[in-house]
Structure 1
Amino acid sequence: MSTPRLTDSAEAYAAWIAPQASLVVLQPTTLCNLDCSYCYLPFRRRRMEMSVETAQAVAASLAEQQLGHVTEVCWHGGEPLAIGPEKLAALMAPFEELRRAGRVRHSLQTNATLIDHAWCDLFLKHDVAIGVSIDGPADLNAERVDWAGRPAFDRIVTGIGRLVERKIRYSLIAVVGAGIDRAVDLLDFLAGLGPTSIGLNIEELEGVNTSRSQPVPARARAFWEAVFAWSADHRDVEIRELDRLAYYLRTIRDGGRASWEAHRYDPLPTVAANGDVVLLSPELAGIRDERYSDFLAGNILDEPLNEILAGAWRLPYVSEFLDGLTACRETCSFFDFCRGAQAGNRYFENGRFDTTETNYCRTSKQELVQALAGIAQLPAASTSTRSTEDEK
């Protein structure tokens, strides 16, 4: 990818960042019914709910995107189900014409504890792709508790059972903390629940989760080696991280380098319950930092999304992020696969966006590649055809 050196320009923004959002994250409520010990959300005790007017403004903005462009609208939180099925149905209503036209598709990430048949009816009506957060069997899921400190495990499994009963497909995402030394136990359990795919998020420093110790690269490499070995015996189970690496390798092998390098970052707008918009990382929503004007790119009630994105290159944290991507490309041997450290991880680990390597890079990208190289008994650099790292 040809990127200008001066990344404080609209041209540099256009070279690195896609002009239209393919994923828009909406926060129907800040409230969560759980108090997971590693949670990054600053306002999960408070019930701030999105208005229908805000949802209408987002839908109107997406209607302005070019025909043929499909946008995933991801309902995130907080716990999105904490708003109740009637209110979420009202928030989804403004998108229905776009959904029926194939221009919008819904997804929702949930802890599953509140799923009942009314929720299943809504998921089926709007063809919602469901992601469930669970960290493994009961002992590995022990940090997912409610506000009274009671384990959420049985309620999560019950919610998953209701999805299975209604034949609603779902994916799983596990935060890998204690499970980093028990990959086989973790994967055996998750696969036994019957998901369409499994995502493995090694715990990160982000949001208000800034003081817990983080896994070191050596443990991460051992974890990924165990994941590769498990996957070799369970080829019918899709593991998100392994599939992303495999897709990269296939693309390069099949002559698709030009298309791979032409890839631009999704601006990833996140719309908070009050309509405020932050870019590049949902974890920045609600974080206060005067240096970056609290990361606010605008408010969807005041201006449409296309105008917010058109002026995003002027935001100091966006400009810093572009400088960081340039530095990643010039200094990191994993860049060809990774395409640069994530914006949220840069900020929460290093305090700025124009830095490069993070612990997230090392444990979730670099050690993933190193584990595959070790299994193949090849130097890690051989998995990349140039000395140059993708999104979560």
Structure 2
Amino acid sequence: MNTAPPHQQAALLRRYQHRIHRVPRNLVVQPTGFCNLDCTYCYLPDRDDKTPMPTAVAEAVARSASELVGGHHRKPLGLIWHAGEPLALGRRRFTELLQPFEELRRKGLLEHAVQTNATLIDDEWCDLLTEYGFRVGVSIDGPKDLTLRRTDRRGRPAFDRIMRGVERLQHRGVPFSLIAVVSRENITHPDRLLDFLAALRPVSIGLNIEESEGVNTERHPPTREQAIEFWLKVLAWSRRQPGGTAPVRELERLGRYLRMSRTQRADRAHLSRVDPLPTIARNGDVFLLSPELAGITAPTYNDFRAGNVLEQPISAILREAHRLSYVGEFLTGLEECESTCEFFDYCRGSQAGNRYFEHQTFAVAETDYCRVTEQAPVLALADTVRKERTT
């Protein structure tokens, strides 16, 4: 916790309010650290721990959520069930955790989302996801030979089980998006990857370039040059697709930015403030700015704990967030980005977690994540436009 004099605290609060949204758009809930898979690039430190979130924690999160949405005319608060494999809790336990949020959901003030590996999805899970209005995200890295890094606890490929879950969602008419991790193994096959993903008829496609984060520190993510070539091919693939093909999330974001730039939206900075993204671990501990910080041991930063929802509401935790040393460092990093990086107007400073995992501090500007996920698509688009103008 920052213990600077009052005038410095006041200045820090002003910096925080300038950069960070006062009310979060989303809450991330980690009901269990356990995952039934053991993917080679997984960053989670607690994926062997089967301890579930107690109902009391869910009730406390629901009280906080009610306070956050009270009196605000805005989109529903997103409640993202994440971490290990949320469905590994089982339907009974998962349903118990959903009950405290029902009043908010039925009033249209809250919307559930879940990120799943789909291996456990059957008709009963489809019924539950439909009943509670879930937005569903499925993680799959492409066709079978490009998904070999997604394995179960015995090292067996999980592709066939993932596909059975996807087929259940399709059969039952449950909309879903797809997220693929793009690593050195599949970054040279964008057309095959995207053809496969699009054929599954998702709502959208997300492409996450592999990152060094959490306990995933031994592998080598793709380089900026590989990423630029990848995004060039993704752009070309997207332009060849007929109407109705699932959009690529990163290209949609780039398109929104270009449209906003053309219209010179005066409120662009306001719209681009960083979501504090409170993440609630199964024991009620709250982490800010990056879900990947949850469960990480870092004594210098008090393991990134901002508080506990059983002891104080999330609104109170956010009111004091500017006092956290890692939040203060992150603000310094954002300011450095704005003053030194030509891409800042697009990415608005990128991700907090990547700063720490790559540099063990948040007070830095450019990261590998910036280079491959934020800068590379922009450079690929610029290169595409330049080539078209000269032909």
Asked whether the two chains share a fold, i.e. TM above 0.5, the reply is: yes
Say whether the 8 Å CA contact 2:278–2:286 is kept in structure 1: yes
Instruction: Name which of 51, 64, 75 aligns with 1:48.
Output: 51
Q: Deviations over 1:87-116 (max 9, x none)?
A: 111101110100011110000000000001
What percent identity do the matched residue pairs reach? 51
**For residues 42 and 32 of structure 1, what CA distance do their matches in structure 2 show?**
11
Q: 1:320 aligns with which of 307, 329, 353?
A: 329
Pick aligned residue for 1:276 from 275, 285, 303: 285
Is 1:28 the equivalent of 2:36?
A: no
Q: What is the aligned-residue RMSD (CA, Å)? A: 1.4
List aligned pairs for 1:353-368, cutoff 5 A. 353-368=362-377
Aligned positions of 1:77-88 closer than 5 A: 77-88=83-94
Matched-pair contact (CA < 8 Å) for 2:350–2:374: no
Report the residue type matching 1:93 in the other structure: Q
| Counterpart in the other structure of 2:16 | 13
Structure 1, 206-215 or 62-71: larger mean CA deviation: 62-71
The aligned residue for residue 329 of structure 1 is: 338
Question: What residue is the counterpart of 1:227 in the other structure?
Answer: 234
Question: 2:112 and 2:312 mapped to 1: Cα distance?
Answer: 23
Residue 149 (structure 2) pairs with residue 136 (structure 1): no
SS of the aligned residue for 1:39 comes to coil
Deviation at 1:7, TM superposition (A): 9.1
CA positional deviation for 1:254: 1.8
- Does 2:112 match 1:106? yes
Q: CA–CA distance in 1 between the matches of 2:239 and 2:11?
A: 46
Question: In the TM superposition, what is the alpha-carbon distance from 1:14 to its structure 2 partner?
Answer: 0.9
Change (3 A) 1:25 1:233: same
Q: Which runs of 4+ in 1 moved over 4 A?
A: 5-8
Q: Give 2:194's match in structure 1, choosing from 174, 187, 191.
A: 187
Rounded Cα–Cα distance in structure 2 between residues aligned with 1:234 and 1:300: 46
Q: Give the 3-state SS of the residue equivalent to 2:267 in structure 1.
A: helix
Residue of structure 2 in register with 1:71 after alignment: 77
- TM-score w.r.t. the length of structure 2 is 0.94
Q: Is the 8 A contact 1:27 1:273 kept in 2?
A: yes
Classify the secondary structure of the residue corresponding to 2:177: strand
Structure 2 spans left out of the alignment, 5+ residues: 1-7
Aligned to 1:38: 41
Quick check: 2:138–2:176 contact (8 Å CA) kept in 1? yes
CA–CA separation in structure 2 for the residues paired with 1:288 and 1:53: 25
- Residue of structure 2 in register with 1:306 after alignment: 315
- Measured after TM superposition, the shift of residue 8 of structure 1 is 6.0
Letter matched to residue 283 of structure 1: E
Task: Encode CA deviations 1:319-352: one digit per residue, 9 max, x unaligned.
Answer: 0000000000000000010100310000001110
Alignment of 1:130-169 (within 5 A): 130-169=136-175
CA deviation map 1:214-267 (0-9, x unaligned): 2111110100000000000115320000000000000111231x2211231110
Cα separation, 2, equivalents of 1:83 and 1:143:
23
Q: Helix, strand or coil: the match of 2:17?
A: helix
Aligned residues: 374
Counterpart of 2:177 (choices 171, 193, 197) is 171
Q: CA deviation at 1:6?
A: 8.8
Alpha carbons 2:82, 2:114 under 8 Å: kept: yes
1:260 corresponds in structure 2 to 268
Please report how far the alpha carbon of residue 150 of structure 1 lies from its aligned counterpart in structure 2 after TM superposition.
0.6
Distance 1:48 1:74 in 2: 19
Indicate which of 244, 248, 259 corresponds to 1:250.
259
Question: Does the Cα contact within 8 Å between 2:136 and 2:175 map onto a contact in 1?
Answer: yes
What letter is aligned with 1:210?
A: T
Q: Deviations over 1:338-390 (max 9, x none)?
A: 10031000000111000010011001111110000000008xxxxxxxxxxxx
Q: Which amino acid aligns with 1:194?
A: R
TM-score by length of 1: 0.93
Question: Is the 2:9–2:323 Cα contact (8 Å) retained in structure 1?
Answer: no
| Structure 1 residues 10 and 181: alpha-carbon distance in aligned structure 2, compared to 1, 3 A threshold | same
Shift in Å, 1:118: 1.3
CA distance 1:224–1:6, shift in 2 (3 Å): farther
Structure 2 distance, partners of 1:12, 1:116, is 48
How far apart, CA to CA, are the structure 1 residues paired with 2:368 and 2:178? Answer: 23
Distance of 1:317 and 1:337 partners within structure 2? 23
Instruction: Give me the whole-angstrom Cα distance separating, in 1, the residues matched to 2:301 and 2:30.
Output: 21
Structure 2 equivalent of residue 201 of structure 1: 208
Unaligned 5+ segments in structure 1 are 379-392
Match of 2:60 in 1: 57
When residues 94 and 222 of structure 1 are mapped into structure 2, their CA distance, relative to the original with a 3 A threshold, is same
Cα distance in 1, alignment partners of residues 212 and 10 from structure 2: 27
Distance 1:88 1:19 in 2: 30
Secondary structure at 2:241 match in 1: coil
Q: Is the 8 A contact 1:134 1:156 kept in 2?
A: yes
Amino acid across the alignment from 1:103: L
